[in-house]
């Protein structure tokens, strides 16, 4: 008997084909190609200005590529070019099937409305209308991201940085997306708060079998969370492979420099 789920997992979820982006004379991203499979965590690493955040915006359809294209396999199993999606399909991706975790939680949250409403809003956007159920689900999710449910009616501007980031994660995951983009999700947090957040992300990603594309300049984050890495420099992918392979046996001069620059713990 053919295992249908296994067969499904053998099809890439997202495929980037030779995508490039220029801002005037500056080439921010040059000729990037790769395939991401369901449940796979891909880290994009490199220093500031290497083009990793631009690449994330191209992949998530927030920026249009100058050349090349990105395709995504929708829930009906058919892969479609992001540039040619209709408005309804695009809305479905942003509100349901994708998540986007920003470095600054204020970009991904509504700071003046309650935590419960921040999580519930994504559910209402996909048609949930039973207040009791929305509140119950929101409260479940606060617990899962280790926020005291007594704070459900407080606005995130009264939260600490770590709590805001966890709330942003709950807001993104409540609709059970298949793919989550993360831009330096632990940047700007204290080291102890970072460790807790990483551990939480690691277990949620495994439990929900999420596919993730995470941009980070922190190789320790890449090691802990990702299966695969792409190292970027000057807008190009210069090295790619299994995370432990690239970090333990780096090949390119620039990757060796990055790895050797980590301070021993």
Does 146 sit near other proteins (CB under 8 A)? Answer: no
- Return the number of the residue (174 or 219) whose C-beta is nearest other proteins: 219
Backbone angles phi, psi at 212, to 5 degrees: -135, 140
Residue among 8, 126, 249, 262 that touches other proteins (CB under 8 A): 249
Residue among 224, 234, 236, 238 that touches other proteins (CB under 8 A): 224
User: Site residues for other proteins, window 186-205 (CB under 8 A)?
Assistant: 195-196, 198-199, 202
Backbone angles phi, psi at 127, to 5 degrees: 100, 0
Element spanning 67, H or E: strand 67-73
**Least Cβ distance, residue 110 to other proteins (angstroms):** 30
User: Site residues for other proteins, window 30-49 (CB under 8 A)?
Assistant: 37, 40
Give the residue among 209, 237, 239, 214 at the shortest CA–CA distance from 224: 214
Residue among 133, 208, 256, 262 that touches other proteins (CB under 8 A): 256
Give the residue among 112, 128, 111 at the shortest CA–CA distance from 120: 128
- Return the number of the residue (68 or 241) whose C-beta is nearest other proteins: 241
- Return the number of the residue (117 or 219) whose C-beta is nearest other proteins: 219
Please return the burial class of 41, using the count of CB atoms within 10 Å of its CB with bins 0-12, 13-18 and 19+: buried
Residue among 136, 153, 176, 248 that touches other proteins (CB under 8 A): 248
- Residues 31 and 26: their CA atoms lie apart, in Å, by 14
- Residues 78 and 74: their CA atoms lie apart, in Å, by 6
Q: Which residue ranges make up the site for other proteins (CB under 8 A)?
A: 37, 40, 195-196, 198-199, 202, 206, 224, 227-228, 241-242, 244-245, 248-249, 251-253, 256-257, 260
């Amino acid at each position: 008997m053919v295992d249908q789920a296994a067969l499904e997992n053998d099809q890439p979820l997202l495929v980037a084909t030779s995508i490039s982006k220029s801002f005037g004379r500056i080439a921010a991203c040059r000729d990037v190609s790769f395939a991401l499979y369901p449940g796979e965590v891909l880290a994009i690493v490199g220093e500031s200005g290497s083009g990793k955040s631009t690449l994330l915006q191209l992949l998530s359809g927030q920026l249009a590529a100058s050349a090349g294209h990105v395709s995504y396999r929708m829930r009906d199993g058919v892969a479609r070019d992001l540039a040619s999606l209709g408005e309804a399909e695009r809305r479905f991706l942003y509100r349901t099937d994708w998540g986007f975790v920003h470095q600054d939680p204020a970009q991904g949250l509504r700071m003046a409305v309650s935590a419960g409403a921040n999580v519930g809003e994504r559910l209402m956007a996909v048609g949930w209308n039973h207040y009791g159920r929305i509140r119950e689900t929101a409260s479940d999710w606060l617990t899962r991201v280790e926020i005291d449910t007594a704070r459900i009616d407080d606005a995130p501007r009264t939260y600490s940085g770590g709590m805001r980031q966890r709330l942003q994660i709950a807001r993104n995951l409540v609709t059970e997306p298949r793919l989550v983009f993360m831009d330096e999700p632990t940047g700007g947090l204290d080291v102890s708060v970072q460790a807790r957040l990483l551990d939480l992300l690691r277990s949620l990603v495994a439990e929900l079998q999420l596919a993730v594309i995470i941009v980070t300049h922190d190789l320790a984050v890449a090691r802990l969370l990702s299966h695969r890495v792409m190292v970027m420099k000057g807008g190009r992918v210069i090295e790619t492979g299994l995370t432990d392979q690239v970090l333990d046996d780096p090949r390119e001069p620039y990757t060796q420099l990055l790895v050797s620059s980590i301070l021993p713990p």
